[in-house]
Amino acid sequence: MRSDPVTNSSTTTHKIPSSARIAELYKTLIKLDIRFEKQDVSASHVEQTELFCERFLETLINYPAPLLAQLHYNKSNLNYFYNFQFNSLVFCGLLLLRNNFNLTTAQQILSGVLTWCITAKPEIEARAGQKSEDSECNFSKIKTQLIRALSHYQRQIWVELLTHTSAKAMSQLQRLVTCRNTVSPNNDYLSVTLYMASLVTRAPDKAAISYSKAMVKITQTCHCFALSLIEPLMDYPGTILPGSTLLLSDNQRALYLGRHQSELYCLTYSASLKNYDEEISAITESQIRKVAAPGILNNIKLADKWWGQAWQELQTINKVSDSQKIYARGFRLDKPPESLVAVIEHLSAQDIDIDQLIALIESEPSFADHLQLTASQQSRANLRINNVKHGLLMHGFERTQSVLVEKALTSRLSQHRFPMQDIIYQFVKLWSSFAHAIALRHPKFIPEQASCWVYFAAAGLFTHGELKLKQHWQYSNTDSTRDSHKIQLKQPQMLWQHAYKLACSWAQDKAIRDALRDGLAKQSLPPTAKRSLPHVLLNLSLNLASSLFFEGEAPEFDSDEYLQQYCQRLAIDRGSYRDICQETVKNSHNYWPIHNKCLFGNG
């Protein structure tokens, strides 16, 4: 499996019509379902499911409107189960993209939804009043085999989706969405998805309701956390789904395509031609009298006509595409942002124009806010810094550079969500706080620079593909992980490799590049081995942070030979060591996210 699927989707060619891609998704899904039912589950099933979900997300990003429209069109040539399952994938994919999930994590959750539907097929069909056609298939056996395979391949997120929501939940979906799943939060995506699919999928004995009405029903029923999941959907696609049939105030009928700001674009129905006009019209929301219930789509190729050349030209005029609306492409991580480079170049000049420097910082609001926040936090008089100039004077030029580099880096490392992101971020904050406190007591270090170094050293925790598959931190505290990131991974060396490459890409000082390069190489060396001061600083702060964060207390000053050597190199005595630990706990601005059992592998 790729470490980050569809990251290059913005460069994907759009020569294949959207209808062909969507039709292929239907065909592949049905083949995959049949394969699960007919064969014993193996590694190949896992791989094919992940590959399908990768393609599904790619299609949803590149062709959002026609794929989302499938929620409003029942495919009469398919039975209820396949319509329900496909609708579940469409809505779940929408939720994950709009909630800004990392694509590898989104792939895992989508795979969980897909296979949950397979293992709950009899219950899904029973909800629609249908008798299962697969009476000889043992769906419980499929689930057991799948969980065994997933556990072997460390697919924690996927496993928890299958194990924490029973197939019996299909008979009580409305009740399910009223209660938050505190054991496995990702299962909230499953429950909301299943509820939406049950509302918009037409059953033989029950009409479906429109996406608009379904959204109203969900908001009236779901618990507050589930409401936070659907909140991003208010911006895109909004309360009306592309592909919806609209009844307008002048009794005209129209097909809704999408919107830009306050304008809603549609194709009006021509009674004389018995078809929709080819010219796109703009209407306002006040002109809509009703959104019709889902209908039947007998020819999927109509999607190519409805969202064809005219629609693409309209998006070009509006300078924003549906692809950009459904999922933010994010910032490149392999180089610093141009706004930061401009600030650094100005800070490095011999004659610094203060007013121009302030203007450069203020042109990037996140930089300005962070500079003022960090200056306020470090003010001995507890002053609130309210302008960039004051923050700049508080930090000084050299410290300001480190503060802004750290902000730009953390923004890029945390731009897409994954389950372990919160605990990783809090741990790294504590690590940087220890580095800051140690640097305050050493003449060769700048505290803000030391803190910034930690975020480069910890970058692999945010970028390692294996961590996008995990639900909780598997803490490891052995001799082999003494100067490492304290987590069980198949390729832990990748953490230091990612850190070193990133520091090089961002043109960091040679001192920190060398320290990161040596992070893995010198891990097995004895405590008296020669190490650079930045290397010692990173290792000491890492060990203190991991002990306090995961074990609840910092180690005693003389408890470890490595610890003593590190303190000796940094001229830290017993009293300073105690002060560092106490000040860090007091000033770290951290919280310990222990409210969910799923965060730690050992509970």
pLDDT at 198: 95
Q: How confident is the model at residue 134 (pLDDT cuts 50, 70, 90)?
A: low
Parse the chain into domains and list their residue ranges: 9-231, 330-408, 417-599
pLDDT at 135: 61
What is the dihedral angle through the alpha carbons of 155, 158, 161, 166, rounded to the nearest 10 degrees?
-90
* Average of per-residue pLDDT values in the chain: 88
Retrieve residue 183's tokens.
């054991």
| 223-280 per-position pLDDT tens digit | 888 889 999 999 999 999 999 999 998 889 999 999 998 899 999 988 777 788 889 9
Whether omega before 237 lies within 30 degrees of 0, making that bond cis, reads yes
pTM passes above 0.75 = yes
- pLDDT above 60 for 9: no
CA 602 to mean position of chain CA atoms = 24
pLDDT at 603: 37
Rounded Cα distance, 565 and 313, in Å: 66
Retrieve residue 188's tokens.
């909230």
Q: Is the dihedral of CA 117, 123, 125, 131 positive or negative?
A: positive
pLDDT at 2: 45
CA atoms within 13 A on the CB side of 274: 0
Q: How confident is the model at residue 351 (pLDDT cuts 50, 70, 90)?
A: confident
- The predicted model gives 333-344 an average pLDDT of 92
pLDDT at 17: 86
Q: Judge whether 294 and 210 are in contact, CB under 8 Å.
A: yes
- pLDDT above 70 for 592: no
- The predicted model gives 310-320 an average pLDDT of 90
Angle between the 338-347 and 397-413 helix axes, to the nearest 10 degrees? 170
Retrieve residue 128's tokens.
């629609």
Which amino acid belongs to residue 480?
Answer: S
Retrieve residue 12's tokens.
């994907």
